[in-house]
A and B are shown apart, each in its own frame.
Chain A
């Protein structure tokens, strides 16, 4: 009797300690795995950042160093980018195209989505089906005739081919996501507003749109990253150097015919410069995006 009283808690403590050690070990293993994967995935970009601040001589020394020392540190890469080349101009060009798209696509797409989600009319299903069918037709098929069309219209001298399509909703995916979201917005508010005499456009603008904040933000972020990294469109349509976006300027300078950026530090600086704004947008927006809250909201 006395024995069990004595050993009971001690044995329990021993078992508890063992179990606790097992949990701790498991947790340590998980952290080790997570860290290993994180290091693998992130080190190239840290390396790009670090190499953009090295002098050309320091870069060409073997063995390669991951971080510059006081002697190897240099802003030469960025100087070449901004002083010898017009990278602020290219940034401005990119921002201009992005800004027009980021305003026009959510507006046009939400108008169309409202029509599909909230208005009963004879063409609803057929126009929606037509829109969805465009997802099956690959861009490679349409690009040649579109180029011919835009050049016949005389648009290939400027950015019009890269912004005018945005006025038509900017593609089926955005409209589809908005339709899915709007269908889950309850109709009671709509009906009440109609009884109070609000017309269809007022109901769209004052009732439905304010409730679509998260999905409109999601579409805007999609449009941002799409236009920011778009390479093919600017490559085909932007003929004059003054109009180049960052994507084509970097391509022509680092790989293509211009080859103005020969030094690795400048090339890395260009890569960092182009990634800077997407990284900021991502860091501001990351919780919603990475935790899947947005996509959860879309699936409703």
Chain B
């Protein structure tokens, strides 16, 4: 009897490690090893092949002093994140509220709202270039019809960031799906008793719906901050041949890291930049977790 139990326990040990072996190896090979390597590279001048000279903190010093592009790329990325993260949350949430209306045909509207999200980034990128062409784009024509001043969109440094932010409004359906699921988890009884107490739509919204979806709001906030700071694909396409936009106005950190590593072959410097970005993301994440007292976790799914 005891022997059988011991045997079963051993089988469990063996089986457990065997089943989880892929992910254990994957974590070690594809995350831990490269993360450590990257930190080491950041103290070297390294071309990715043979040349590897130790340079101490010189890469980091260069980021903050000699490299004139650093200020631009960090500023662009932060401005973009500071605008698009809250904008995306608010628009996605409002869209979900609209799509949550109980009305005939609402499913068809939800499909239409979500459609832009499934368009691959590269397709969307070339579409924005055409749509926002200052002469032959449909947006310029709409501006003309409405009697607005002649737009410049991506063609001028002063308007390219605003144009890029504008294009993000088309993907607000991405957040919608998550919010709709969150709304489903709110007990209907809460709304019933609120209605009996005479609460109107907005009272219910601010007293029930929003407070009870704060855990999801927080989750979305953290993931979109982390994701937005590393954004790459739309930028490099909207940014034109150089991937930087007019006068570096759309030059983002991730594109800069890509250029340093794969265009100039400065693997060490690119790694140092990546670690600075990592540090910023880590600090922001800690700050967000420390200031999450506004999040209301309910007892059952806390």
Chain A: residues with CB nearer than 8 A to chain B?
27, 30-31, 33-34, 37-38, 41-42, 44-45, 47-48, 51, 59-60, 62-64, 66, 108-109, 111-112, 114-116, 119-124, 127, 130-131, 133-134, 136-149, 151, 165, 167-169, 172, 175, 200-201, 204, 225, 228-229, 231-232, 236, 246-247, 250-251, 254-257, 264, 267-268, 270-272, 274-275, 278-279, 281-283, 286-287, 289-292, 295-296, 299
Contacts and interface: CB of A to CB of B under 8 A. Distances in A.
Contact of A64 (B116, B138, B173, B233): B138
B257 interface: yes
B294 interface: no
B130 A121 contact: no
Nearest to B26: A168
B170 to A, nearest CB: 6
Contact of B281 (A51, A138, A151, A257): A138
Contact of A115 (B15, B35, B106): B15
A136 B35 contact: no
B122 A140 contact: no
14 contacts: A37-B113, A41-B113, A44-B116, A44-B127, A108-B22, A115-B20, A119-B19, A130-B32, A144-B41, A144-B48, A168-B29, A247-B121, A264-B130, A295-B181
Nearest to B257: A140
Interface in B114-141: 114-116, 118-127, 129-131, 135-138, 141
B278 interface: yes
B116 A290 contact: no
B278 A138 contact: yes
Contact of A141 (B38, B113, B185): B38
Interface of B: 11-13, 15-20, 22-27, 29-35, 37-38, 41, 48, 95, 98, 101, 103, 106-107, 109-116, 118-127, 129-131, 135-138, 141, 170, 172-173, 177-178, 180-181, 184-185, 226, 229-230, 232-233, 236-237, 240-241, 253-254, 257-258, 261-262, 267, 270-271, 274-275, 277-278, 281-282, 285, 301
A142 B113 CA distance: 35
A59 B126 contact: no
B232 A232 contact: yes
The 4 closest A-B pairs by CB, nearest first: A121-B16, A168-B26, A115-B19, A229-B120
Interface of B is mostly: helix
A51 B240 CA distance: 21
Nearest to A259: B241
A45 B127 contact: yes
A231 B232 CA distance: 9
B282 A274 contact: no
B119 A167 contact: no
Nearest to B277: A140
A271 B123 contact: yes
Of listed A37, A172, A246, A287, residue having the most chain B CB within 10 A: A37
A282 B23 contact: no
Given A38-B109, A121-B15, 18 more contacts: A37-B98, A41-B112, A44-B170, A115-B17, A115-B18, A140-B257, A141-B278, A142-B30, A142-B38, A143-B34, A144-B261, A144-B267, A168-B25, A169-B23, A251-B236, A275-B123, A283-B111, A296-B185
Contacts of B115: 41-42, 45, 279, 282
B119 A292 contact: no
A172 B223 CA distance: 14
B122 A236 contact: no
B184 A138 contact: no
Contacts of A286: 111, 114
A274 B177 contact: no
A156 B30 CA distance: 16
A120 B240 CA distance: 54
B299 to A, nearest CB: 15
A34 B98 contact: yes
A15 to B, nearest CB: 20
Contacts of B301: 299
